[in-house]
Amino acid sequence: MTTGFFIAIEGGEGAGKSTQANLLAKHLQSLGFEVVTTREPGGTHTAEKIRDILLDPKIDDMPATTEALLFAAARADHAANLIRPALERGAVVICDRYIESSVAYQGAARGLGVDYIRQLSAWATHDLMPDFTIYIDVPVTDSAERMEGTDRMEIQSRDFHTLVHQAFRDIASNSNSAHVQIDGTRDREDIAEQISTAVTEAMKSR
Ligand SMILES: Nc1ncnc2c1ncn2[C@@H]1O[C@H](COP(=O)(O)OP(=O)(O)O)[C@@H](O)[C@H]1O
Ligand SMILES: [Mg+2]
């Protein structure tokens, strides 16, 4: 049992996750919370090195299983060395992507199995689950327009990103954990306000 509060922000490429993670961090800091903003894959020295491999566009022969295990390995390090310690000292942790991204990308879109990937993540993190998950929903067409990078995940096919999008929606509608789905096509201040309201509610009701 930790005293902090763990928030995951999920969604496809260009959904506005990083934008909203920063706005939410500023908002919570202004309320006096210690806020740790982090991202996946990455967040720690080891996990950032794994990120470099995972997102390297020059690698075009990575088996889906390797990909899933590397994401899980990065998450294991991130959970043990950054997220859990921050929560134990009472911080609010805002994580740009977490388990649901693995479930959507590797479990559904890569076809490895959503239950299997969920179990792998749970095992890798010793069951460190978010207290609250924000899913930012953006259609694949908008997502493609907003995409800036050319990393190995972003350059996957439109069909792949469509599967990811469908999977995120399925996860959001079937989730029995604390969860909010946000329409990511609205303007960023609007979205930020919806998110802070939802987070305040979730932190109160915990
Ligand atoms: N609500 C929004 N409406 C329009 N464009 C947005 C919105 N939020 C973010 N963007 C823009 O879309 C791009 C991707 O945003 P970003 O926050 O980096 O997404 P993600 O981290 O989910 O990939 C950036 O250029 C950003 O400025
Ligand atoms: Mg981002």
- Tens of pLDDT, residue by residue over 100-152, are 999 999 999 999 999 999 999 999 999 999 999 999 999 999 999 998 889 99
pLDDT tens sequence across 1-54: 568 999 999 999 999 999 999 999 999 999 999 999 999 999 999 999 999 999
Q: What is the mean pLDDT of residues 69-80?
A: 98
Phi and psi at residue 133, to the nearest 5°:
-120, 130
Containing H/E element for 145?
helix 140-146
Among residues 151, 139, 153, which one has the least CA distance to residue 185?
139
Does the reported pTM lie above 0.85? Answer: yes
Q: How many angstroms does the Cα of residue 192 sit away from the middle of ligand 1?
A: 12
Distance of CA 28 to the CA centre of its chain: 19
pLDDT for residue 1: 55
Q: What is the mean pLDDT of residues 68-74?
A: 98
11 alpha carbon, closest ligand:
1
Contact 86, 93 (CB under 8 A): yes
pLDDT for residue 78: 99
Query: What tokens were used for 47?
Result: 């996990």
Q: Which residues are within 5 Å of ligand 2 (an ion), measured at CB?
A: 18
- pLDDT over threshold 90, residue 73: yes
| Per-residue DSSP letter, 12 | S
Q: How many angstroms does the Cα of residue 178 sit away from the middle of ligand 2?
A: 22
Count how many domains the chain has. Answer: 1
Q: How many angstroms does the Cα of residue 127 sit away from the middle of ligand 2?
A: 25
Asked whether the bond before 139 is cis by omega within 30 degrees of 0, the reply is: no
Owning domain of residue 118? 5-204
Q: How many angstroms does the Cα of residue 149 sit away from the middle of ligand 2?
A: 10
Cα separations (Å) of 173 from 103, 121, 154?
14, 20, 25
Lining residues, ligand 1, CB within 6 Å: 11, 13-19, 146, 148, 187-188, 191
Task: Specify the CATH number for the domain of residue 51.
Answer: 3.40.50.300
Q: What residue owns the CA closest to ligand 1's atom 9?
A: 16
Q: What residue owns the CA closest to ligand 1's atom 6?
A: 16
Query: What is the three-class DSSP state of 38?
Result: strand
